[in-house]
Amino acid sequence: MCQNQKFWGGRYNPIIPVNNGEIPDNYLEYIKYSDPDFVFYSEGTNLTKVESFLNPKKYYKIEKFGTPKFEGLDCTYLLEHSTDDALLCESGYLYKSNLKDNLQFYELNFLFQSYFFDKHELLHRYKKITINHDNLKDINKIIALESLIYKSILSKRDVYTNIFKTSELIDQNLELVIADENEQFNDLLYYWNRQMYLEKHNYCLNQIYITVQQLERLSNDRDFHLLLSSLSKSKDIKVHSETLNNSRLQEIININLLNDKKMVNFFIKEQGKFPFKIDDIQYYKHMDEKVYTKQVLIENQGLLNLPKPSFAASKNLSQEKWAVDIIIEDVNEQENRRNKIKLPFGTFIFD
State the DSSP string of 223-282: HHHHHHHHH-SSSEEEEE-SSS-HHHHHHHHHHHTSSTT--SEEEE---PPSSPPP-EEE
CB atoms within 10 A of CB 10: 23
Q: What is the pLDDT of residues 7-65, one digit of tens each?
A: 888 888 999 999 999 999 999 999 999 888 889 998 899 999 999 999 888 898 888 76
Residue 208: which H helix or E strand, with range? strand 207-211
d(CA 304, CA 130) in angstroms, rounded, equals 44
d(CA 223, CA 253) in angstroms, rounded, equals 17
Tell me the pLDDT of the chain averaged across its residues: 81
Helix, strand, or coil (residue 219): coil
Contact status, residue 140 vs residue 203, Cβ threshold 8 Å: no
| Strand pairing class (162-165; 148-149) | unpaired
Look at residue 121 and tell me whether its pLDDT is greater than 70. Answer: no
d(CA 12, CA 161) in angstroms, rounded, equals 8
| Strand pairing class (58-62; 38-42) | parallel
Contacts of 351 (CB under 8 A, 6+ apart): 338
Q: What is the pLDDT of residues 225-283, one digit of tens each?
A: 999 999 988 889 999 999 999 999 999 999 999 877 788 999 998 888 999 999 888 76
